[in-house]
Each structure stands twice: as C-alpha cells, then as structure tokens.
Amino acid sequence: MDQVSHPKSAPPRRPTITDIATIVGVSKVTVSNALNGRPGVSEATRARIAAVADEIGFVRNSAARALSGARSSAVGLALCRPARMLGTEPFFMELVGGIENVLSDSSYSLALQVVSDHERGLEAYRRWWGERHIDGAILVDLRTDDPRIPALEQLGLPTVVIGHPSGSGSLTPVWSDDAAAVRETLEYLAALGHRRVARVAGLPGLVHTAIRDEAFARVCAELGLQALPPVHTDCTGQEGARATRRLLLTPERPTAVLYDNDITAVAGLSVAQEMGLRVPADLSIVAWDDSPLVQVVRPALTALTRDIHAYGANAARTLLSLISGRQPGGYEDLAPRVTPPAAAPHPRPDRPDRPDRPGPEAFGPDGAGHRRGRPRRAVSSRGSVRPDVGSGGLRGSVVTQVEPVRAHTASAHTAAPDRPGQLPGWEAAQPCSSSAKASSAARCGSACRRMRPRASRAK
C-alpha cells in the first residue's frame, strides 16, 4: 500500500514584542518600556500593550530579562539541613507556607534549595543573584558571627534575616522575643511549684539558641529555680530522646523540661512514659512551637504558641518592601505565649516521690531497660492471672494492669536500699509469712493500699 506523505505543520511560534508592536501600532522600544515599567509611555498605551500581551500569551525570556535589568519576580531561600528531614519539621513547613502565601499574591515565586552546609547556601545566593534569577533573599538559621551576613551585604542583595537584630548586621531582621518567651515559661512552671528545671536546646552555634540559653540561666536565678545545664541537640527526635534520658537518669532529675522544638518534646514524652513517669504529674514538658504534633499525642503537651504562618508572611512582606525600594527597618513579631493543653491536670512536683513507683535508677545505665521487681501481669475479668501476652490474645477483654509491687518483707519497710542502685523493697528475697502479713500491712499503711490493681482496657 502506497504511503501518502503529508506536509508537516510548523510548530507554533512563541509571541514576541514585534507581534505586540505590530498589533498595537507602536515601536518595539515602546513595548519594551511599557512591559518593563519604564517611564515615557502613556497609561492608555501601557494598558493596551499589557492587554495584547496577555491575549497572545507573551512571556518574557529570562535571558533577555537579565540583559535588560528587569526583575525576575522570584525570591531565594537556601535551607541547610538534610532533604529527608524537611518534611518532618512542622516549623519550616509552616514558615514556607506563609512566605509562599504572600509571594503568590504579588505574582512572585520562591526559589527553594536544600543545601548541606551554609557555604553551599551562600554559593546558591551568589549564583541566583549573579544570573538575575532572584530579586531578593530570605536568610534563616542565623549563626553567631555568621559569615553569610557580610557576604550578602557586599553583594547588595536585598535580604531579610529571620533572626535577632544582634546578629543580622545591616541586613533587615524579622524576629520575635525569645527571651520574653523563656521568662513566661519559667514563671508559669514556678507558679505550678517546680523548683528544678532543665532545657533540651538546639545547636549551640545558633543565635536564637544562645539567647534562650542566657535567658534560661538568668531567669532561673531570679526566680530561685535550680537550673540544670542545657543539653544541646540537633533538634531531631533521636537526639531529643537521648537528651531526655540523660536528664532523667541524673540523681536529682528535673520536674520540668523545656524543649527547643516540638519533635524533641514528643521524643521526650516517649522516654518519660518508657521510664514509668507520668506526664504531667511526675514530669512537666513544654514544647517550643505549638504544632499538630504536640496536640495529637496523649497526653497533649504544653507549648509555646505563635503563628508561624504569619511569621513567614511578615518576612515575605518585609522583603517585598525592600525589593520595591522602601526601607522598612525590620519587623518584630509577637513573642510566643505559653498555652497549656485543654483540661490539663495540675502537676504536683513538690509532692514526695511515691514509694511504690520506680525511680530512674531502676532502668539500668541507659534508662532503656525494664522495671525491676515483678513483671507486669494481665488479670482477666474472672480473676485468673497470666503473664503478658500479645494484644491479639487480650483484644476486647477487660483486664487489670498490676504495677510492680513491693513484697511484704522486713527489708521492704526500711528506708535504705539493701545495696547501691537497688530501690527499697523492689528485690526482696523472701515474702512475709502469712502470720506476719497483718502487722506488715499495718507498718506500711497506705503503701499497701496502693498495690491494688488498676482497671484498664487492653488495646
């Protein structure tokens, strides 16, 4: 069968300023001046040119725009952190959302790049600015004596620094008062009766970390609180859990811990529950930034609340003002406020430790072991006792969880442990005889009444 060849149609041609000039009846120079916002074009002609450009789908070429010195309508942001962690940080997701919300309303886009270190981030800013890909930049994770500050000042790149003015140089800062938030948190904890507090902090080289460290020590001294040295982390859940375990294994563990972000706070909650501590009855936890993460855990955590979306939006508005030629002079956002969870039970840190609850030393050197004493047992509704089994065997049945209890022995009622590292009565060798049970129970009083099982439903 003979093949019939059809002539190929020419691909559609991109509209040019020559096409606009022909339709409107003006010169190409007039079209270029109108599209670039230059003077010398009447408002009526400028509006006619813009309408025709939209009608035929004209889009400026980026290379030609760079040569002409026109704006790129883009803002750059380089984030120094592993790309796989970006989706797990609620703070930066909210911050970028606020920035994008304002930029999109002004027909601006956000050039976002994740880098491995601040030097690569600075290279990205230089490349974007040199190739006219951005009109301005947003700088985050401000460090003490940050080398990016003088470099961006030398470039002349309009830049907003999300950080305290003390470290932003001549660049425009957008910040909130972290020291005020630390003071409000410690005053709140002191009002609840806490006297021994700790802090799981972020990276020590960051400006906001140094401000919080200094405010924490100063306010604790003013309020007469015993402040444990801050434990610095990389703000990941793994590091938060490790730091919490270290604090809870100290001889005088804190009754309240302030965390520098929500991820480490939730990790700290898991460690506290693993070690048998009740939150907030035995340990109060305060998370910096009130994200959905701290609201969905049980119990919900007290948090320092601020509108992070608005924080990013204010940074974007300040940058757009800089790009347009105005000098806004910086913007101080609202300081975070302490927000307890709804219907939160009041902790009683001044209460002496319950003798029937294990302390941190009952968990081994790393705090990850099991309680000493009798294993947890499941008791069916018929009263039979059997060792713990999988949830499938107990699903839907009402059981009673029995906490490790102290056997009735003479050593169980002494004040000192039998050997270092052993809790009184938790590893008693021999139980009381049946004839001595009554007198033994009379000696320990309310402690024996607390050994009754607590009813709960197995998951």
Examine the domain organization and report whether 395 and 419 are in the same domain. Answer: yes
CA 130 to CA 157: how far, in whole Å? 10
CA 303 to CA 289: how far, in whole Å? 6
Question: Domain limits at 131?
Answer: 74-176+310-332
Examine the domain organization and report whether 250 and 295 are in the same domain. Answer: yes
- Give the residue from 259, 292, 272 showing the smallest Cα distance to 185: 259
pLDDT value at residue 268: 97
CA 342 to CA 325: how far, in whole Å? 46
Instruction: Establish if 328 belongs to a structural domain.
Output: yes
Please answer whether residues 32 and 68 qualify as being in contact, where contact means their C-beta atoms are separated by less than 8 angstroms.
yes
Mind listing the pLDDT tens digit of every residue in the chain (459 residues)? 444 444 444 445 668 888 899 999 998 888 888 887 777 889 999 999 989 988 887 766 655 555 455 678 899 999 987 766 776 778 988 999 999 999 999 999 999 999 988 899 999 999 898 888 899 999 999 999 999 999 999 988 999 999 999 999 999 999 999 999 999 999 999 999 999 999 999 999 999 999 999 999 999 999 999 999 999 999 999 999 999 999 999 999 999 999 999 999 999 999 999 999 999 999 999 999 888 888 899 999 999 999 999 999 999 999 999 999 888 888 999 999 999 986 554 555 554 444 444 454 444 444 444 333 333 433 333 343 333 333 333 333 333 332 333 333 333 333 333 333 333 333 333 344 444 444 444 444 433 333 333 433 433
Instruction: Establish if 338 belongs to a structural domain.
Output: no
Q: Is this prediction's pTM over 0.85?
A: no
Burial of 57 by CB count in 10 Å (0-12 exposed, 13-18 middle, 19+ buried)? exposed
Instruction: Establish if 346 belongs to a structural domain.
Output: no
pLDDT value at residue 70: 62
pLDDT value at residue 205: 92
**282: domain CATH number?**
3.40.50.2300
Examine the domain organization and report whether 183 and 301 are in the same domain. Answer: yes
Instruction: Establish if 130 belongs to a structural domain.
Output: yes
Examine the domain organization and report whether 284 and 322 are in the same domain. Answer: no
Instruction: Establish if 67 belongs to a structural domain.
Output: no
41: left (phi over 0), alpha (psi -120 to 50) or beta: beta
* Residue 377, token pair as written in the block: 């047992």
Instruction: Establish if 110 belongs to a structural domain.
Output: yes
CA 182 to CA 176: how far, in whole Å? 12
Q: Is the dihedral of CA 439, 443, 449, 452 positive or negative?
A: negative
pLDDT value at residue 110: 95
**Helix ranges, 275-367 (H):** 292-296, 308-323
pLDDT value at residue 310: 95
| Cβ-based neighbour number of residue 109 at 10 Å | 13
Examine the domain organization and report whether 171 and 183 are in the same domain. Answer: no
pLDDT value at residue 60: 64
Please answer whether residues 300 and 284 qualify as being in contact, where contact means their C-beta atoms are separated by less than 8 angstroms.
no
Q: Under DSSP, is residue 161 helix (H, G, I), strand (E, B) or coil?
A: strand
Please answer whether residues 304 and 287 qualify as being in contact, where contact means their C-beta atoms are separated by less than 8 angstroms.
yes
pLDDT value at residue 406: 35
Q: Is the dihedral of CA 132, 133, 134, 138 positive or negative?
A: negative
String of DSSP letters for 258-298: EESSHHHHHHHHHHHHHTT--TTTT-EEEEES--HHHHHSS
Instruction: Establish if 36 belongs to a structural domain.
Output: yes
Examine the domain organization and report whether 103 and 116 are in the same domain. Answer: yes
* Residue 258, token pair as written in the block: 């302030």
Examine the domain organization and report whether 49 and 114 are in the same domain. Answer: no
Examine the domain organization and report whether 222 and 265 are in the same domain. Answer: yes
Please answer whether residues 404 and 373 qualify as being in contact, where contact means their C-beta atoms are separated by less than 8 angstroms.
yes
CA 380 to chain CA centroid, nearest Å: 42
* Residue 251, token pair as written in the block: 């001889």
Examine the domain organization and report whether 43 and 92 are in the same domain. Answer: no
* Residue 302, token pair as written in the block: 């007290």
Question: Total structural domains in the chain?
Answer: 4
pLDDT value at residue 452: 37
Q: Is the dihedral of CA 228, 234, 235, 239 positive or negative?
A: negative
Examine the domain organization and report whether 230 and 263 are in the same domain. Answer: yes
- Give the residue from 202, 452, 48, 32 showing the smallest Cα distance to 40: 32
Examine the domain organization and report whether 263 and 159 are in the same domain. Answer: no
Instruction: Establish if 400 belongs to a structural domain.
Output: yes
